[in-house]
């Protein structure tokens, strides 16, 4: 079924269940309890999980498979956002045309940048993509202000000449984004005992698209095309002497990952119709690199995991302030409590980036395969303890797994 | 004519900073073969060395001055820096005023120590790893360093002035016989340029005329052979890392009066410095210096109103455009050697 | 008319004349060795044949078409496969995948956007790759990570990757360089076996005489960038010019 083998199908099912049940899974603590601040099951954050998941899945198709490290992918995300907002301004508040346009525009833009950048490899490629992205960012801030609205960012106004739809609603406010009438912001709330679960239309749209994107990436990984991309990463010389032209393969991978980024940008704008240049800055490109590596570059699940991990902790860590810390360590004697709070303080709250940086370094140094590799190692340890036959557990890593000719 | 001169001069200070950072990057890359994304952070730390010293020097104690009263009528508290108390108000004041140049002395050991620790503690383990891994781990380190600085110094820029003597500008045009007020140039920028020239000259002389430098240059050209001669090249390269860190740090120290230091300035400069290194040619020291000044000056020209009128926004993108054009037409940069980083 | 015709090829690197007026004709279904001392221009000549270098003057015709100005992948698609001095394989991939890639290249050409089909569903290609691995006695290793194999196995795998494309001409660049005697003999046996099993044209660049005389049907001796003689192994063995150029310099 679906043209994938059993292992992949199971993985897809797991991801689907996780994505669809996220409002439950991410809200394990009763509303109003002290731990409720660690709940992540609210629409805004859940949307970010899956949108950045899409972004990272796409980035992984380029970096994970071909090894070309792009430092400019945020540019495609930004372009996608701008296109979507313009679609809302000019055509309709329906998200479908906006998303389609953002994918197309990002695809064309990445075709252009990829065509030039892929003439070089290694660090030169990284610098070229970085240069293009910074250029787009600077232009969006300056000359392109009529299109991007500069520093303020592109927003909807009451005077937008929307062809299909009205400029303003009956009560004089800006219309909201919808999918054929289903408003993206509409949320169904369900109370079960002390728990409150939120089911948001926008989140589910993003989640379904993420699942489709994940499935598509899976097909690419298992296809001859994906195999060629991995071959490029390993040995381009041999590839050329085997009669294959590496340039169109890398360009195709670049454009596909650019379109994924555009899709993420389009979705971002669909959830909250505004777009700013800071989405294109190189730190934003760096973020998707972090997500992919942290989760595990070249693995199927890694990037999604990395995206979720970073976005979750970014949100949660920034909420941990000193009073929370005091709460945690309250059982200790006063002196120790204060000392511990002082030690932990720089790493939480506003210090989240410090933790992220350290974590990222640790992953690069000790776990080049990312969280996925960590998980595999732990799984192996358990297997050994149990003493069962240790079949090579490499389910998500295309590097080691022989998927073919079974 | 005077406009051209003015823009050239204006480009010099930024060009000097680019050249200094790119020089350090290239030293590290050429000797250790490591792509160091944390190099911008070293520049930033240098700047904060100046900030730290100026804060240390202005550490004060409070005394009550009975002759004055504050607006509530109470006796006013007067802050006196310890330095002034020790050396007298005159000399102490001068020392505080000269905090930035004095920070050079302070920064050199600090930066060398940081560089040494970085190399021994982290970079050493990445010589054999792919370049992508080096980029990633130093990128992580850069984030960590800038967050640490942010934790101690806050997120806002900290203005740190130049000594009183160098404040203000002088009429450079008059000096070379042009009309008055045609070319006005701030003193400190001139100082920065000469300082950069001195450092660059010093590094080149060091590499050219000392035995140490000779070994390092030989090692840059052919590491294995030098290793076979029984010379412990790794040790020398470690020291080079310290020197490169010091160069970046000093560039940062002296840049503080031009640009108030903030925690993310390193990243801002790093992106441009990498472009500079690539344009100059990976691994070429003269290329890095040349490209640094060239891009600084080009950037300054592009910000002229006359040019912006023809091509709007060119000042924002000129460096990147140049980088892209050079990379595509001269893959090894202006002065790059064959076979460097082409895998 | 040979399958590969090299006429009047010159190549200079700065002041160094690497190849001077090289003429060479490789006949179909023969094993042709190109020998010569170090620095004779063997590798330069090879690089001119596969598109890595472009000669200054002269022509290189393969199967009636010029190869000059074509990129390596285009030349491979014309039917020339190359074995490297140190085995070039896809070391992050499994043995099976290593052989599948040339199969796809042979079937689909230099580029095909087959991103949605699954490799596992390409039954014909898989069968072909398996048959090839069977041929070189590596079928049991097909799921192995190719980086972890011995050098001899890597060489064998690379050979399989080239052969599965059914090239019209197989170029071998010092296939036994740096090998121990036993490995060299194994490689010779492998090549002999290949040559017996299928009608294949091979051009071997080599300076190990033992290898050359065990395999070659024709030998061209290259010295200082120019062919000295071309003849059968028997005649080459006793040729005074060859002994002078080759042995004279080697000893």
- What are the tokens at A90? 């000019």
Domain boundaries, chain A: 6-317+367-386
Q: What's the confidence (pLDDT) of residue C126?
A: 94
Mean pLDDT throughout B131-136? Answer: 83
Mark whether C177 and C239 lie in a shared domain. Answer: yes
> Which of C50, C105, C120 shows the shortest C-beta gap to A404?
C120
What is the pairing mode between strands C218-223 and C31-35? Answer: parallel
Mark whether C70 and C12 lie in a shared domain. Answer: yes
**Cα–Cα distance, B217 to C86 (Å, whole number):** 31
Q: How many domains does chain C have?
A: 2
**Cα–Cα distance, A120 to A247 (Å, whole number):** 10
Q: What's the confidence (pLDDT) of residue A396?
A: 40
C82 close to A (CB below 8 A): yes
Mark whether C184 and C233 lie in a shared domain. Answer: yes
Examine residue C85 and state whether it is found in any structural domain, yes or no: no
pTM: 0.88
- SS3 labels along chain A: CCCCCHHHHHHHHHHHHHHHCHHHHCCCCCCCCHHHHHCCCCHHHHHHHHHHHHHHHHHHHHHHHHCCCCCCCHHHHHHHHHHHHHHHHHCCCEHHHHHHHHHHHHHHHHHHHHHHHCCCCHHHHHHHHHHHHHHHHHHHHCCCHHHHCCCCCEECCCCCCCCCCCCCCCCCCCCCCEECCEECCCEEEEEECCEEEEEEHHHHHHHHHHHHHHHHHHHHHHCHHHHHHHHHHHCHHHHHCCCCCHHHHHHHHHHHHHHHHHHHHHHHHHHCCEECHHHHCHHHHHHHHHHHHHHCCCCCCHHHHHHHHHHHHHHHHCCCCHHHHHHHHHHCCHHHHHHHHHHHHHHCHHHHHHHHHHHHHHHHHHCCCHHHHHHHHHHHHHHHHHCCCCCCCCCCCCCCCCCCCC
C92–A233: do the CB atoms touch at under 8 Å? yes
Domain limits at C134? 94-158
Examine residue C118 and state whether it is found in any structural domain, yes or no: yes
Chain A positions touching C161 (Cβ under 8 A) are: 238, 242
Mean pLDDT throughout A284-295? Answer: 91
A245 close to C (CB below 8 A): yes
Helical pair A201-222 and A224-234, crossing angle rounded to 10 deg: 70
Residue B72: φ, ψ to 5°: -90, -5
> Which of B140, B321, B327 shows the shortest C-beta gap to A360?
B140
C120–A5: do the CB atoms touch at under 8 Å? yes
Chain A positions touching C126 (Cβ under 8 A) are: 404-405
In the structure, do chain B and chain C come into contact, i.e. share 3 or more CB pairs under 8 Å? no
Tens digit of each residue's pLDDT (9 = 90 or more) over B65-95 = 777 777 677 777 777 777 777 777 777 778 8
Chain A positions touching C73 (Cβ under 8 A) are: 239-245
Tens digit of each residue's pLDDT (9 = 90 or more) over B147-198 = 899 888 888 888 888 787 777 777 777 777 777 777 777 888 888 899 999 9
Tokens 């076996």 locate to: C193
Give the N- to C-terminal CA distance of chain B in Å, as an integer.
Answer: 45
Residue A260: closest CA among A204, A220, A302, A314: A220
> Which of B135, B271, B331 shows the shortest C-beta gap to A134?
B271
Taking the CA of residue B332 and the nearest CA in chain A, the distance in Å comes to 9
List the helix and strand counts (H, then E) for chain C: 10, 10
Determine the residue of chain A that is closest to B275 in CA distance: A127
Residue B195 has a CB neighbour count (10 Å cut-off) of: 20
Burial class (CB in 10 A: 0-12, 13-18, 19+), B111: buried
Q: What's the confidence (pLDDT) of residue A271?
A: 93
- What are the tokens at B184? 């006005």
**With 50 as the cut, is the pLDDT of residue A392 above it?**
no
> Which of C94, C121, C161 shows the shortest C-beta gap to A242?
C161
Tens digit of each residue's pLDDT (9 = 90 or more) over A217-248 = 999 999 999 999 999 999 999 999 999 999 99
- What are the tokens at B191? 């100082």
> Which of B135, B321, B328 shows the shortest C-beta gap to A119?
B328
Write down the mean pLDDT value for chain B: 83
Q: Which of the four pLDDT bands, split at 50, 70 and 90, describes residue A349?
A: confident
Chain B positions touching A360 (Cβ under 8 A) are: 136, 139-140, 143
Tens digit of each residue's pLDDT (9 = 90 or more) over A169-203 = 888 888 888 898 888 888 888 888 888 888 999 99
Residue B209 has a CB neighbour count (10 Å cut-off) of: 10
A361–B323: do the CB atoms touch at under 8 Å? no
Mean pLDDT throughout B239-260? Answer: 89
Contacts of A35 (CB under 8 A, 6+ apart): A29
Tens digit of each residue's pLDDT (9 = 90 or more) over A119-176 = 888 888 888 898 888 889 888 888 888 888 888 889 988 888 888 888 888 888 888 8
Examine residue C89 and state whether it is found in any structural domain, yes or no: no
Q: Are B254 and B305 in contact (CB under 8 A)?
A: no
Taking the CA of residue A231 and the nearest CA in chain C, the distance in Å comes to 6
**Cα–Cα distance, C251 to C249 (Å, whole number):** 6
In the structure, do chain C and chain A come into contact, i.e. share 3 or more CB pairs under 8 Å? yes
A346–B151: do the CB atoms touch at under 8 Å? yes
A6-317+367-386 to CATH, choices 1.10.1060, 2.40.160, 1.10.3470, 2.40.128: 1.10.3470
To 5 degrees, how large is the angle CA A273–CA A277–CA A279? 75
Give the number of beta-carbon pairs within 8 Å between A and C: 132
Q: Are B184 and B170 in contact (CB under 8 A)?
A: yes
A249–C111: do the CB atoms touch at under 8 Å? yes
What is the pairing mode between strands B60-69 and B75-81? Answer: antiparallel
Chain B positions touching A132 (Cβ under 8 A) are: 320, 324
C8 close to A (CB below 8 A): no
Helix (H) or strand (E) holding C23: strand C16-26
Complex ipTM value: 0.90
Examine residue B82 and state whether it is found in any structural domain, yes or no: no
**Cα–Cα distance, A228 to A221 (Å, whole number):** 10
Domain limits at B323? 2-57+102-329
A254 close to C (CB below 8 A): no
B331–A124: do the CB atoms touch at under 8 Å? yes
Contacts of B130 (CB under 8 A, 6+ apart): none
| Domain end among C133, C158, C183 | C158
B144 close to A (CB below 8 A): yes
**Cα–Cα distance, A62 to B192 (Å, whole number):** 43
> By three-state DSSP, how is residue B60 classified?
strand
Task: Give the domain CATH number at B200.
Answer: 1.10.3470
| Domain end among C158, C177, C195 | C158
Taking the CA of residue C162 and the nearest CA in chain A, the distance in Å comes to 8
Tens digit of each residue's pLDDT (9 = 90 or more) over A31-79 = 877 777 778 888 889 999 999 999 999 999 999 999 999 989 999 999 9
Chain B positions touching A74 (Cβ under 8 A) are: none
A130 close to B (CB below 8 A): yes
**Cα–Cα distance, A336 to A340 (Å, whole number):** 6
Chain C positions touching A245 (Cβ under 8 A) are: 71, 73, 110-111
> Which of A120, A346, A358 shows the shortest C-beta gap to B327?
A120
C109–A5: do the CB atoms touch at under 8 Å? no
Examine residue C86 and state whether it is found in any structural domain, yes or no: no
Residue C52 has a CB neighbour count (10 Å cut-off) of: 17
Tell me what percent of the residues of chain B surpass a pLDDT of 70: 95
A289 close to B (CB below 8 A): yes
Taking the CA of residue B43 and the nearest CA in chain A, the distance in Å comes to 18
A360–B143: do the CB atoms touch at under 8 Å? yes
Taking the CA of residue A314 and the nearest CA in chain C, the distance in Å comes to 34
B327–A121: do the CB atoms touch at under 8 Å? no
A289–B139: do the CB atoms touch at under 8 Å? yes
Mark whether C146 and C189 lie in a shared domain. Answer: no
Mark whether C67 and C119 lie in a shared domain. Answer: no
Chain A positions touching C104 (Cβ under 8 A) are: 224, 227-228
Examine residue C87 and state whether it is found in any structural domain, yes or no: no
Q: Which of the other chains make 3 or more beta carbon contacts under 8 angstroms with chain C?
A: A
| Domain end among C137, C158, C179 | C158
Q: Is C8 left (phi over 0), alpha (psi -120 to 50) or beta?
A: left
A289–B136: do the CB atoms touch at under 8 Å? yes
A252 close to C (CB below 8 A): yes
Window C:152-191, CB contacts with A under 8 Å: 161, 165
pLDDT tens for chain C, 251 residues: list them: 789 999 999 998 887 888 888 999 999 889 999 988 877 888 889 989 988 888 999 999 999 899 998 999 999 999 999 999 888 999 999 999 999 999 999 999 889 988 888 888 889 999 999 999 998 888 999 899 998 888 888 888 999 999 999 999 999 988 887 777 888 888 888 888 888 887 789 999 987 888 888 888 999 988 888 888 888 888 887 777 777 766 555 44
> Which of B141, B328, B331 shows the shortest C-beta gap to A361?
B141
B278–A346: do the CB atoms touch at under 8 Å? no
Window A:56-85, CB contacts with B under 8 Å: 67, 69
Q: How many domains does chain B have?
A: 1
Q: What's the confidence (pLDDT) of residue A406?
A: 30
Q: Are B258 and B43 in contact (CB under 8 A)?
A: no
Q: Which of the other chains make 3 or more beta carbon contacts under 8 angstroms with chain B?
A: A
Spell out the long-range contacts of B58-67 with Cβ–Cβ below 8 A and sequence spacing 24 or more.
B58/B83, B58/B96, B59/B83, B61/B85
Residue B37: closest CA among B124, B109, B145: B145
Q: Which of the other chains make 3 or more beta carbon contacts under 8 angstroms with chain A?
A: B, C
């Amino acid at each position: 079924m679906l043209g994938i083998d059993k292992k992949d199908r199971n993985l897809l099912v797991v991801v689907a269940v996780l994505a669809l049940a996220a409002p439950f899974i991410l809200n394990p603590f009763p509303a109003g309890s002290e731990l409720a601040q660690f709940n992540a099951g609210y629409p805004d954050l859940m949307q970010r999980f899956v949108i950045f998941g899409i972004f990272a899945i796409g980035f992984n198709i380029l970096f994970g498979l071909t090894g070309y490290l792009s430092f400019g992918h945020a540019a495609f995300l930004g372009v996608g956002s701008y296109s979507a907002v313009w679609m809302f301004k000019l055509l309709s508040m329906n998200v479908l045309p906006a998303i389609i346009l953002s994918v197309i525009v990002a695809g064309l833009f990445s075709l252009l940048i990829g065509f030039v950048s892929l003439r070089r490899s290694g660090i030169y490629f990284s610098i070229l993509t970085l240069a293009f992205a910074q250029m787009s960012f600077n232009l969006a801030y300056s000359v392109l202000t009529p299109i991007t609205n500069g520093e303020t960012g592109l927003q909807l106004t009451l005077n937008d000449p929307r062809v299909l739809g009205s400029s303003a609603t009956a009560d004089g406010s800006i219309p909201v984004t919808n999918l054929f009438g289903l408003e993206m912001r509409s949320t169904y709330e369900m109370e079960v005992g002390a728990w409150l679960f939120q089911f948001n239309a926008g989140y589910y749209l993003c989640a379904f698209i993420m699942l489709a994107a994940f499935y598509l990436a899976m097909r690419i990984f298992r296809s001859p095309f994906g195999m060629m991309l991995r071959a490029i990463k390993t040995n381009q010389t041999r590839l050329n002497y085997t009669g294959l032209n590496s340039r169109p393969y890398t360009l195709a991978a670049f454009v596909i990952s650019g379109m994924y980024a555009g899709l993420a940008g389009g979705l971002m704008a669909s959830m909250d119709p505004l777009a700013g240049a800071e989405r294109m800055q190189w730190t934003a490109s760096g973020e998707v690199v972090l997500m992919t590596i942290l989760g595990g570059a070249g693995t199927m699940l890694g990037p999604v995991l990395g995206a979720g991990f970073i976005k979750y902790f970014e949100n949660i860590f920034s909420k941990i302030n000193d009073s929370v810390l005091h709460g945690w360590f309250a059982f200790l004697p006063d002196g120790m409590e204060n000392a511990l709070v002082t030690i932990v303080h720089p790493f939480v709250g506003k210090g989240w980036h410090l933790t992220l940086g350290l974590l990222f370094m640790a992953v690069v140094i000790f776990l080049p395969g990312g969280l996925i590799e960590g998980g595999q190692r732990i799984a192996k340890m358990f297997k050994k303890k149990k003493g069962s036959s240790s079949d090579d557990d490499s389910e998500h890593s295309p590097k080691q797994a022989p998927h073919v000719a079974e | 004519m005077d406009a051209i001169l003015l823009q050239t001069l204006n480009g010099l200070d930024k060009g000097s900073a680019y050249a200094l950072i790119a020089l350090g990057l290239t030293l590290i890359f050429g000797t250790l073969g490591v792509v160091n994304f944390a190099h911008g952070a070293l520049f930033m730390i240098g700047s904060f060395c100046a900030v730290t010293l100026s804060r240390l020097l202005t550490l004060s104690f409070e005394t009550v001055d009975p002759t004055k009263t504050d607006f509530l009528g109470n006796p006013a508290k007067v802050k006196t820096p310890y330095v002034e108390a020790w050396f007298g108000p005159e000399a102490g004041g001068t020392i505080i005023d000269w905090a930035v140049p004095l920070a050079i002395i302070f920064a050199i050991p600090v930066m060398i120590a940081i560089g040494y620790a970085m190399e021994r503690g982290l970079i050493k383990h990445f010589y054999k790893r792919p370049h992508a891994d080096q980029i990633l781990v130093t990128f992580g380190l850069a984030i960590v360093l800038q967050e640490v600085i942010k934790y101690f110094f806050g997120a806002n820029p900290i203005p740190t002035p130049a000594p009183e003597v160098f404040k203000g500008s002088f009429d450079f045009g008059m000096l070379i016989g042009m009309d008055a007020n045609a070319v006005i140039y701030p003193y400190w920028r001139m100082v920065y340029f000469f300082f950069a020239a001195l450092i660059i000259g010093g590094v080149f002389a060091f590499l050219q005329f000392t035995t140490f430098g000779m070994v390092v240059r030989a090692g840059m050209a052919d590491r294995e052979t030098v290793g076979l001669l029984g010379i412990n090249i790794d040790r020398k390269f470690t020291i080079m890392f310290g020197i490169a860190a010091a160069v970046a740090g000093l560039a940062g120290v002296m840049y503080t009066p031009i640009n108030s230091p903030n925690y993310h300035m390193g990243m801002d400069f790093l992106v441009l410095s990498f472009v500079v290194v690539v344009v100059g040619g990976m691994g070429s020291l003269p290329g890095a210096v040349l490209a640094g000044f060239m891009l600084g000056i080009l950037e300054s020209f592009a910000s002229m109103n006359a040019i912006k009128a023809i091509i709007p926004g060119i000042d924002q993108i000129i460096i990147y455009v140049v980088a892209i054009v050079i990379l595509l037409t001269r893959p090894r940069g202006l002065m790059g050697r064959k076979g460097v980083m082409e895998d | 008319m040979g399958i590969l015709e090299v006429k009047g090829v010159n190549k200079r690197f700065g002041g160094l004349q690497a190849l001077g007026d090289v003429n060479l004709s490789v006949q179909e279904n023969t094993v042709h060795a190109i020998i010569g001392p170090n620095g004779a221009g063997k590798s330069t000549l090879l690089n001119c044949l596969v598109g890595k270098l472009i000669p200054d003057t002269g022509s290189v015709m393969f199967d009636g078409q010029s190869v000059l100005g074509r990129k390596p992948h285009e030349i491979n698609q014309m039917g020339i496969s190359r074995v490297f001095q140190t085995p070039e394989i896809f070391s992050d991939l499994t043995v099976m995948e290593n052989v599948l890639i040339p199969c796809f290249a042979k079937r689909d050409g230099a580029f095909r956007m087959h991103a949605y089909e699954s490799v596992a569903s390409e039954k014909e290609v898989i069968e072909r790759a398996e048959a090839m691995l069977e041929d070189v006695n590596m079928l049991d290793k097909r799921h192995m990570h190719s980086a972890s194999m011995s050098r001899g196995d890597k060489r064998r795998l690379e050979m399989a990757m080239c052969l599965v494309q059914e090239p019209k001409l197989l170029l071998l660049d010092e296939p036994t360089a740096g090998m121990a005697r036993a490995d060299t003999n194994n490689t010779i046996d492998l090549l002999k076996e290949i040559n017996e099993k299928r009608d294949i044209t091979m051009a071997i660049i080599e300076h190990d005489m033992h290898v050359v005389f065990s395999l070659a049907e024709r030998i061209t001796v290259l010295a200082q960038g120019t062919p000295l003689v071309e003849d059968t192994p028997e005649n080459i063995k006793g040729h005074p010019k060859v002994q002078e150029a080759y042995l004279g310099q080697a000893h």
